[in-house]
Structure 1
Amino acid sequence: MAFFARLQRLGAGARSCIIDRRMGGLAAAVLALSVGVVTQAQAADLPRVASINVCTDQLLMTLADPSQILGLSPYARDAARSWAAAEATKYRRLSGEAEDVLMLRPDLVVASLYMKRTTRELLKQQGMRIAEFDIAKSIDDVKGQIRRMGDLVGHPDRAEAQVARLDAAIARAREAVARKSYRVLALSRRGWVSGDDSVTGALLSITGLSNAASGIDISSGGFAKLETIVADRPDFILISEGRDVAEDEGSALLLHPALEKLYPPSRRIVIPEDFTVCGGPMLADALDRLVAELKRVGG
């Protein structure tokens, strides 16, 4: 009542301004309330997801809301394999088997085609919706999987942002590698060589570097003898760690005297394994690391 009494003592113009301000504030409050209701409704419509593969783990953590993620695979927290290992500690750690997934009753389960088929089949038999992802072997595969996961979790805009980030990293790497016709051999434990049909092979080819695997007749990936590697003499070897002490037999080959003589640190490109185990947003970081390593070795 006091508010209306004050209005009566004011002129018509002043009364109009006060009423307009009050109505404007009321409209803003109604609008904020309606936006909040819509946001809550949208969140309720988003699927609740469980991941049972380390590669789908990383796509899911990058693109979904935290509230959508019910659990991740046993390897999600493995820093050697998972680019998002630190982030994964915030979420439930699943066994990778069907039982704990069934207890969570997610709207969607994301998995790899290369994990245990019996687990996937059991989940399907119990009415679970399963989205299965193949191994990415090219940059187009990677972009396709990012977009697919974005659509599945209801955030295609985030997926497009990650694809744009990857494209920008590719452009930077191509500029850095321009006019450099280096042959690079991606070499892992026990002499495993990554061929063109691999994430590492895709990184080399997309930037304009040559994968030396083709020179030793390896296309999809395979083991190479020390003698074969020494005889082929690529310009650089690409490895996942720069240790100077072998931690086991598997890594001992990389520190063989013959390789150390031909490939000292100045001829070794180091890209951590968790950047290339899976195809996903981490490849932008892998490409930036590749550029940094080429600068370090004087390439």
Structure 2
Amino acid sequence: MSAWRGLVVVASLAAGLPWAAHAAPLPRIASINVCTDQLLMTLADPEQILGLSPYARDEARSFLASQAASFPKLSGEAEDVLMLKPDIIVMGRFTKRATRELLQQQGQRVVTFDAARTLDEVKAQIRKMGDLVGNPDRADAANARIDAAVARARKAASDKPFRVLPLERRGWVSGSDSLINSLLNTVGLVNAAGALGIKYGGFATLEAVVALQPDYLLISEDSDFAEDEGRAFVLHPALEKVYPASKRIAIAEKLTVCGGPMLADALDRLTDELSRVER
């Protein structure tokens, strides 16, 4: 009889009956990078999030700035993170070396995320965070949203490979080895920065931008107010004459500054803008 009971217990464990096994608790996580902040808020349960970086509430950089207000604001240094006793600390590759080393010396599990430069890298990082927080299904759903947004943007850009120049404050241009470049190429557009010889990113003169003659400018603000000299570059009369609103595609910086689920919103914004601008 005892042997029979043993067989029943073994069979029950194999079948995964509720009383036979209990799921491990989900990890408690602290983030000290604005990009890992947003991955964490999208994919983790709220109770898993112990704190976020100093920039999590910055509306210009964080797509989820309002949501971030619900969580403790960290300094980005090691000391206040250690007080939280997290299971995992997530950060960017360029977090201060001294901070990363101190956390590791204290026995903390530190996971770093690189700056994504392609959509494939973005989707891989979403999967990585989804696995880390114990919610891979949410990561799959986020990547599916990006794929669907890519399909919509490709359809909107299907006329011809328009040349688009990503232009920011003071003439900063995102080059051919950037996330913006990947977004444009993925949907069938061409980053005109290649003709300027800019690979990662760099400044272009007003004369070079005008002479380049791209089909469109990609900017982060559609406001006509120049609050400083940096913004005044994009609103220079010479540029506004050649590139009025009908030749400018506006996508907020907070949608593209990080690689994450918000890229689906960036791509949908691109789709809307391609439907609006002059062909």
Q: Normalization by structure 2: what TM-score?
A: 0.91
1:113 maps to 2:93: yes
Alignment match of 2:58 (pick from 78, 91, 94): 78
For 2:128, which of 148, 159, 168 is the aligned residue?
Answer: 148
* Runs of 4+ with deviation above 3 angstroms: none
The structure 2 residue matched to 1:224, chosen from 184, 194, 204, is 204
Q: What CA deviation, in whole Å up to 9, does each residue of 1:48-91 have, x standing for no partner?
A: 00000000000000000001000000000001000011110110
The amino acid across from 1:263 in the alignment is Y
CA gap of 1:38–1:210, structure 2 versus 1, over 3 A, is farther
CA distance in 2, matches of 1:274, 1:198: 15
Q: What is the Cα deviation at residue 252 of structure 1? A: 1.1
Quick one: distance in 1 between partners of 2:120 and 2:161? 23
1:45 counterpart SS class: coil
* Counterparts of 2:195 and 2:119, CA distance in 1: 22
Instruction: For residues 243-291 of structure 1, give each alpha carbon's deviation from its aligned partner in whole angstroms, at most 9, with x where no partner exists.
Output: 1111111111001111111111111100001000000000000000001
Q: Distance in 1 between matches of 2:235 and 2:155?
A: 32
Partner AA of 2:148 in structure 1: A
Equivalence map 1:1-299=2 (5 Å): 42=23, 45-299=25-279
Whole-angstrom distance in 2 between the partners of 1:235 and 1:286: 20
SS at match of 2:160: coil
Q: SS of the residue aligned with 1:46?
A: coil
* Structure 1 unaligned spans of 5+: 1-33
Unaligned runs of 5+ in 2: 1-16
The Cα shift of 1:38 comes to: 9.6
Corresponding pairs, count = 263
The residue identity in structure 1 corresponding to 2:66 is: A
In 1, Cα distance between equivalents of 2:76 and 2:167: 29
Task: Indicate the structure (1 or 2) with the bigger Cα radius of gyration.
Answer: 1
- Counterpart Cα distance in 2 of 1:38 and 1:291: 51
Partner of 2:12: none
Q: Which stretch of the first structure deviates more once superposed, 136-145 or 113-122?
A: 113-122
SS of 1:50 mapped into structure 2? strand
Secondary structure of the residue that 1:80 maps to in structure 2?
A: coil
Seq. identity, %: 64
Q: State the alpha-carbon separation in 2 of the partners of residues 243 and 74 from structure 1.
A: 27
> Is residue 247–residue 278 contact of structure 2 (8 Å, CA) maintained in 1?
no
TM-score normalised per structure 1 = 0.85
Instruction: For 1:279 and 1:185, locate their aligned partners in 2 and report how far apart those are by CA, in whole Å.
Output: 20
